[in-house]
Chain A
Amino acid sequence: MKVVFSYVKSYKWPVFFALFLMLVELFVELIQPLIMAKIIDEGIQAQDHQLIVQWGTVLLLLSFVAFLSGVANSYFSSHTAQSFAFDLRNALFEKIQSFTLATFQKFPAASLITRLTNDVSQVQTVLFMSLRIMLRAPLAVMGSIIMAFFVNAKLALFLVIGAPIVVIFLVSMVVKGVAYFSKVQHRVDRLNRVLQENLQAIRLVKAYLRGTYEASRFEKVAGQLKIDTVKALRTMEYIMPVLLFIMNMSLLAVLWFGTKQIAEGTTPLGDVVAIVNYAMRITGSFSMFAFIIIFYARANASAERMAEVLAVDNEVEMISSSVGATDKVKYGEVLFENVSFKYPGTDTPVLQNISFHVKAGEKLAIMGATGAGKSTLLQLIPRFYDITAGRILIEGQDVKEWDTQRLREVIGYVPQQSLLFTGSIADNVRWGDVEAEMDAVLQATIQAQIHASVEDFPRGYDTRVGQKGVNLSGGQKQRLSIARALLRKAHILMMDDSTSALDVDTEQALWKDLESEKATMLVVTQKIRTAKEADQILLIDAGKVVAYGTHDELVKSSALYKRIAISQQEVEQ
């Protein structure tokens, strides 16, 4: 709660004004019964016509002041609450952008979505209410009690007799509430996850007719969410009746003893009436009070969830500020020295003792069976993960000493699964370089063999790409994601089996056009004919290097390589 609410600090003045205006309102409300008592005691009982009119006018004016304060308060409160939510959302999102890929294991996308929207809303609502009523209800209760003491301490004592029980009761309810509501939010995460999976897999669901099965999966998580929400809300529902009952009992006590005192002549009638009035006001504030406690518990649960995100310590992204080498000789050079790696939180090594050296401008082909560790190897270069042993030198400098941002700027990465984003085709290519001129974009798309296809679309480069590129064919997506990487003018170009959906002619043309690239290339491929063109071939199996050399060398020296070549009828059996 603390971490999250520190974001209110920037809005000291609006908060101050909002609270001040609220106090003005409250003040009016509190002195009303006082004036009322005056009208009864001094006006009506003393038959003073003048006084009644006078105080009546004062009441009227005060109401007006209260009204204006209230309206102005609305502006200040919602400004504070909305700005707070805005800052918090941005802070969360920025934090998430600095997450390492390993951290995303801990916080799945679905959960982050809930935290950024639903949880922020919960806290935002509470802040808004605090600035308007949340403080007001407790203050009104306190104020009423103080005023009651001011009027007649002996009688007022009965109003606070139940207070200790009330405090203990409320604290225990809040503790329970926080626990219950954080469970509810967790259920929302699960719901979001099932939804997200279902949407991502919608074709699969349809192809295998799993609509009903999916619906039952969803019903399960929605049902759990329902059960936990009901449990949480029902527990909170004890608050209001219990508070109300205690208060009403105090009221009756006041009446009983008040009457006694009047009979004894120790208390004037006006006092009793005023205290009864205050007591009823307190009762009136109680339903609000209960409401606030529920909201507070809920917001507290949400705030903790956000604090979790904000507290993440990003090991990898802790960047040293040294700048990348500009040594011409080492331009784009990649060196692996006995690199071993396992994914964080797992025991099985994915890569063991990998060593290779790609000189500036050279091309390395990486081959190996499905699951051998090829994609993982590439992901270590932009430092998506930290290695467990060995060293990776890029342009002569250890990746751990690179400024991560700068490191990634010299790398053009074409992932295995071509992932595009909602937006136009030009926008998507410009991910490579936001400021690129259209000429540069065209150059990249021509080189990636996608220009002609884009031109064929009725809206050309303005064609909207659906989420993840649903409206494009597999090959078109791959070529766009190649264009995106080319636009980067990177020193190192990494292609992760990213031509698998291209037909032979297109692929051939692509490789031909890429020959002029001066970048160092690391190409994961299944195809011998692609590997043949490379300066070196790295063959890995089960995370270890089994062969390293040129095509001709490998055909002779490696049985596995030969087997692959035979499978593609590239060499004679």
Chain B
Amino acid sequence: MAFFQKPFGYEPILSKDDLKQAVQKKKGPRASNWKSTLGRIWRIVDEQRGLLVIVLLMVMASSALALIGPYLIGKMIDTFVMNGNLEGLGKMITMLVGIYAVLAVTLFLQNYWMIGIAQQTIYRLRTSVFSHLQKLPVSFFDRRQHGELMSRVTNDIEAVSSTLNSSFIQVFSSVLTLGGTLIIMLSLSPLLTLLTMTIIPTMFLAMRWITRRTGPLFKEQQAAMGALNGMIEETISGQRIVKAFSQEERVIAEFREKSLRLKRTGFWAQTYSGFIPKVMNFLNNMSFTIVAGIGGLLALYGHVSIGVIVIFTEYARQFTRPLNDLANQFNTVLSAIAGAERVFVLLDEQPEVEMVAANHHKLRGKVDFNHVYFKYEQGEEAYTLKDVHFSVEPGQTVALVGPTGAGKTTILQLIARFYDVEKGEVLFDGVNVQQIDREALRSQMAFVLQDPFLFEATVRENIRYGRLNASDIEIEEAAKRANAHDFIMKLKDGYDTVLAADGREISQGQKQLLSIARAFIADPKILLLDEATSSIDTVTELEIQEALDTLMQGRTSFVIAHRLNTVRNADIVLVMQKGELVEVGLQQDLIEAGGIYAKMLSSSSRFME
């Protein structure tokens, strides 16, 4: 018995308590959860009702034909074969040839259309998850591994896909066949029918025993798969570091651990679901025995004919086969539900909150922070920003300075409304940012991020990301202004060079130049530059400084830079320290006041000399 406790050393995953809980939950909210998951999938499937009806008609036709076939053969055995009677046999066979030909066609067509329906459903599910992801707040992504999210869109939806391909037709045709067989069996011999039916309660109990285990196991399996995917994605994306620190063994060990979790859950899920056909087969055999044994006895006393028994065993098989299929499908459906639930969790994530009466405010460029408090995580004690209060007039250039981690990037992220403040207000032209349509707001801003990101696309498309309707000439113009044109022309195909996923053809500084070009093309009202030139050499920086200055003209600009000489042209300086605004004012005033900023300036120039 020890083997069954821990076969091949697999630790059990579900405890008795888990199972008990599963039973209790089933009665409670989980049952409805289940139904709602299925219901939601169904709603997408149902969008193609027309095709679905055709498929159903085909299934009905093929089920009927599949029943009529053996029925006629049984008849044939009784009337022709038994008596060696050849008269009329030819006609009957011709008819059967016809029936089987039509059967083959209907079988093909139902699957043909069903595949279309299923894959369309999967497509709809995938794209709606993706579009929904685009609406989620940035904080959602901060908490999750990319690979884990990717697994939901691929592996979890894949589980739904394989179920949809087969289950729908199977379930429907099984139910039909079951009903039809039952009628014929009853008409042949009510007594034998009753005997065959005795297996149903047993089947029900066995199925309950199994699915109570496979249900949670499938869920755990998908979760383990997600975790593994997350780890793979992160490791491979950071492969350079793994290599540099020769940590291959460490990541391999970590991978093995996650892989082992998947193996364990996989083992139990697969073993238990493997029981289903066996149980069904057993019950199948039982019914076969019952019909053959008891039927034989009945025939002995002349209650039924031999032909009836022969056909009846076939029908008993026909009867248990759809039951068998249903049982198997039930299990597949459970695995689909496990996948689908993880997908719907994403779809149920709250998108970025939008005020009902949000207006499409046209920005003039005045920005105010009114005693703003902010922290990234709800549970955190310390605020990332504390009581930040300042006011910027349209067209002014604001420099944010201060040690790293002081909250400079956070301020920019609040201006772009990647996050919402905890206390206080962010105001644009005196209007609270929460009352401005988010899209309208961002469409009037351009952001050059700390870590420039380029897509696996041509240089041209990468710049065009700033404004999709920009012409090729405008793109080149922007690239020239950002001092990127020269190096672009040196690339293999110039502007049409496709940048590789890891962007190794171009350096970090060149990436920054491209993302500055992107901002040039966007033509924003408010410009946010977060260390936009940090990886660019100072000579090039000087060269684009002028262009940047032109860009900033007439726009409200916020600039973070550590090389203080790059912010010397700023009108206003915000000095941040540990989330607090310690100094704010016009550049000149601050220098004259001789406060922190003045000290920073002198220390940086002292260091220079």
Contacts and interface: CB of A to CB of B under 8 A. Distances in A.
B449 interface: yes
B116 interface: yes
Given A59-B292, A74-B274, A240-B107, A245 B115 contact: no
B155 A121 contact: yes
Given A241-B105, A419-B241, A32 B73 contact: no
B245 A564 contact: no
Interface string A461-487: 000001110111111101100001000
A89 B278 contact: no
A104 interface: yes
Contacts of B242: 97
Interface of A is mostly: helix
Given A63-B285, A86-B263, A408-B245, A503 B123 contact: no
A259 to B, nearest CB: 5
Interface in A1-42: 14, 25, 28-29, 32, 35-36, 39-40
B447 A207 contact: yes
Contacts, number: 527
Interface in A34-56: 35-36, 39-40, 43-45, 47, 49, 52-53, 55-56
B363 interface: no
A60 B293 CA distance: 9
**Interface range, B side:** 35 or more
B200 interface: no
Interface string A55-66: 111011011101
A70 B282 contact: yes
Contact of A280 (B70, B275, B299): B70
B263 A83 contact: yes
A150 interface: no
A500 B534 contact: yes
B553 interface: no
Contacts of B376: 471
Contact of B250 (A36, A79, A229, A434): A434
B544 to A, nearest CB: 10
Interface string A417-430: 10101100000000
B350 interface: no
A97 B255 CA distance: 11
A85 B123 CA distance: 28
B279 A67 contact: yes
Interface in A200-231: 200-215, 218-219, 222-223, 225-226, 229-230
B404 A475 contact: yes
Contacts of B536: 370, 526
Contacts of A55: 293
Contact of A52 (B96, B126, B300): B300
B500 interface: yes
B27 interface: no
B383 to A, nearest CB: 11
A222 B238 contact: no
B509 interface: yes
A300 interface: no
Nearest to A475: B404
Interface string A164-201: 00000000000000000000000010011101111111
Interface stretch (A269-277, A320-328, A392-400, A515-523): A269-277
B582 interface: no
Interface in B245-303: 245-248, 250-252, 255-256, 259-260, 262-263, 266-267, 270-272, 274-275, 277-279, 281-282, 285-286, 288-289, 292-294, 296-297, 299-300
B592 interface: no
A201 B455 contact: yes
B453 A226 contact: no
B69 interface: yes
B281 A500 contact: no
A74 B232 contact: no
B112 A237 contact: yes
B313 A255 contact: no
A128 interface: yes
Interface in B6-28: 7-8, 10
A259 B271 contact: no
Given A117-B228, A476-B405, A93 B531 contact: no
Given A32-B285, A202-B141, A248-B69, 7 more contacts: A62-B285, A229-B161, A348-B492, A370-B508, A416-B508, A419-B237, A527-B563
16 contacts: A59-B292, A75-B271, A77-B270, A96-B236, A101-B239, A104-B502, A105-B500, A116-B232, A128-B270, A215-B127, A215-B134, A375-B508, A473-B405, A476-B404, A504-B600, A526-B538
